[in-house]
């Protein structure tokens, strides 16, 4: 049921997805685009069984953090959802969101080991890669853009404040549009389908050369150009732009510089990808195992690592738990799971094998707290260190670094 009567509520907090939380009577109402402390007039209130959803029709008392978004496309584009908040406000509110998630589950003594202050990187111009969708103007002309908010429609983009300048440079004067359309004229139907379905991947940070192609201003036109490399904390790292890779090199370098001082005999890199973290471990450990289900990513990892005592395993995390070799102990287990977090099978494997130390990189605080609740409360692990890194300013995404140690 949707109600159209205007109701005024005070925004009490934000969820991890940045929805504002208020109350209509005893029922919570979730509102997009608002900030804590604001009084807002609601419209189009949708009443669910246990909660409501509504649109903020008017901000009666704006938060001191509220600002005019530094992007003219902000209200239409689906890329950012926090640009209406000042950057200092974003950092403060992300800290409160993470602290609140932990406080609901853990006691005060555990919270003392967490530094909830946010390590900031660059507010704007930080994204070193982008995936553009193609908007068809006519049969022979396409322009790059992003999906609109809450829609599959495409909004053309010629400049994005969050993108590295090298990407914006090829957007200016329709340089990317011209290159795309020229490529499509000579492409096969299969290639055209690939462009339309998957969009254009653009990588925009200057780096070393691979297959004769600079990492700067790379778009997909050939198999060779789908592989690029960059200099990451003085290490050359190769990867396939079609696979996963961090979109904030500045933040990634800060996280590595701050934390990767591990040493030991053996390490296991769970969800290793192209070996991003392993390249900073191979010189400090005698042996290592990289686990990655994506064949292309694992192939790039083999190119990135030079230690002859590294083993590469192309299985899923659940399949790994069934292997006899999974029962061994490693001095360090590195885990950088997807947003869905750890599966029950992987959590049980960690608890059963009592891996002595876990380096955990999380991109989702909700699943992070869920997984830590089991590992710490019933799995024999204690939290040694925790820190939040702002990899994605102007959005609600949070990247964080953690170290867990087993009591035994």
* CA–CA dist 59, 11 (Å, integer): 11
- Is residue 206 within 8 A of residue 223, CB to CB? The reply is no
Model pLDDT for residues 92-110, shown as the tens digit of each residue: 999 999 999 999 999 777 8
Which pLDDT value is given to residue 304?
A: 95
Residues annotated catalytic, as ranges: 363
Model pLDDT for residues 240-282, shown as the tens digit of each residue: 776 778 889 999 999 999 999 999 999 999 999 999 999 999 9
Q: Residues marked as binding? A: 246, 271, 292, 336
**pTM exceeds 0.95:** no
* CA–CA dist 105, 3 (Å, integer): 35
- Alpha carbon 238 to chain centroid, angstroms: 19
Model pLDDT for residues 34-82, shown as the tens digit of each residue: 999 999 999 989 999 899 999 999 999 999 999 999 999 999 999 999 9
Angle at 266 between CA 262 and CA 272, to 5 degrees: 80
Please report, rounded to a whole number, the percentage of residues in the chain having pLDDT higher than 90.
65
**Residue ranges per structural domain of the chain:** 2-61, 87-123+248-406, 129-240
Contacts of residues 373-376 at CB distance under 8 Å and 24 or more positions apart, as own/partner, are 373/105, 373/106, 374/347, 375/347, 375/350, 375/351, 375/404, 376/106, 376/110, 376/404
Q: Residues marked as binding for S-adenosyl-L-methionine? A: 246, 271, 292, 336
Residue keyed to tokens 């006691």: 107
> In which band, very low, low, confident or very high, does the pLDDT at 214 lie, cut at 50, 70 and 90?
very low
State which CATH number among 2.60.40.10, 3.40.50.300, 2.40.50.140, 3.20.20.150 fits the domain covering 2-61. Answer: 2.40.50.140
Choose the weakest-confidence range: 9-23, 39-53, 138-152, 184-198. 184-198
Mean pLDDT, rounded, for 137-152: 82
* CA–CA dist 263, 283 (Å, integer): 9
Q: Which fold has domain 87-123+248-406?
A: Rossmann fold (3.40.50)
Q: How confident is the prediction for the chain on average, in pLDDT? A: 87
């Amino acid at each position: 049921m949707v109600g159209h009567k205007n109701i005024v509520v005070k925004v009490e907090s934000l969820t991890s997805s940045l929805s504002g939380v208020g109350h209509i009577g005893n029922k919570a109402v979730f509102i997009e685009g608002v900030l804590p402390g604001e009084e807002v007039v609601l419209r189009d209130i949708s009443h669910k069984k246990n909660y409501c959803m509504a649109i903020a029709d008017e901000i009666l008392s704006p938060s001191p953090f509220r600002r005019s978004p530094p992007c003219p496309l902000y209200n239409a584009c689906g890329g950012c959802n926090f640009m209406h908040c000042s950057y200092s406000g974003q950092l403060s509110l992300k800290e409160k969101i993470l602290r609140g998630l932990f406080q609901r589950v853990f006691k005060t003594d555990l919270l003392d080991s967490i530094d909830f202050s946010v390590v900031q990187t660059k507010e704007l111009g930080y994204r070193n890669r982008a995936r553009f969708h193609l908007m068809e103007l006519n049969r022979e002309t396409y322009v790059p853009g992003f999906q609109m908010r809450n829609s599959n429609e495409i909004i053309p983009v010629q400049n994005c404040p969050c993108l590295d300048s090298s990407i914006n440079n090829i957007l200016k004067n329709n340089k990317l549009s011209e290159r795309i359309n020229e490529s499509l004229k000579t492409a096969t139907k299969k290639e055209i389908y690939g462009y339309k379905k998957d969009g254009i991947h653009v990588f925009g940070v200057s780096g070393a050369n691979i297959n004769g192609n600079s990492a700067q201003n790379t778009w997909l036109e050939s198999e060779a150009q789908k592989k690029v490399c960059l200099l990451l904390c003085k290490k050359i790292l190769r990867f396939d732009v079609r696979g996963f890779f961090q979109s904030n090199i500045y933040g990634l370098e800060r996280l590595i510089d701050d934390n990767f001082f591990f040493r030991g005999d053996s390490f296991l890199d769970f969800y290793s990808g192209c070996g991003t973290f392993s390249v900073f471990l191979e010189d400090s450990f005698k042996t290592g195992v990289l686990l990655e289900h994506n064949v292309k990513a694992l192939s790039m990892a083999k190119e990135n690592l030079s230690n002859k005592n590294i083993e590469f395993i192309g299985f899923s995390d659940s399949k790994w738990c069934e292997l006899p070799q999974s029962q061994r102990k490693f001095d360090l287990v590195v885990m950088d799971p997807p947003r869905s977090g750890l599966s029950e099978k992987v959590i049980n494997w960690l608890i059963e094998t009592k891996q002595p130390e876990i380096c955990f990189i999380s991109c989702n605080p909700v699943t992070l707290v869920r997984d830590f609740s089991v590992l710490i409360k019933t799995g024999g692990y204690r939290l040694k260190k925790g820190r939040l890194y702002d990899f994605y300013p102007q959005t609600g995404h949070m990247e964080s670094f953690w170290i867990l140690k087993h009591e035994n």
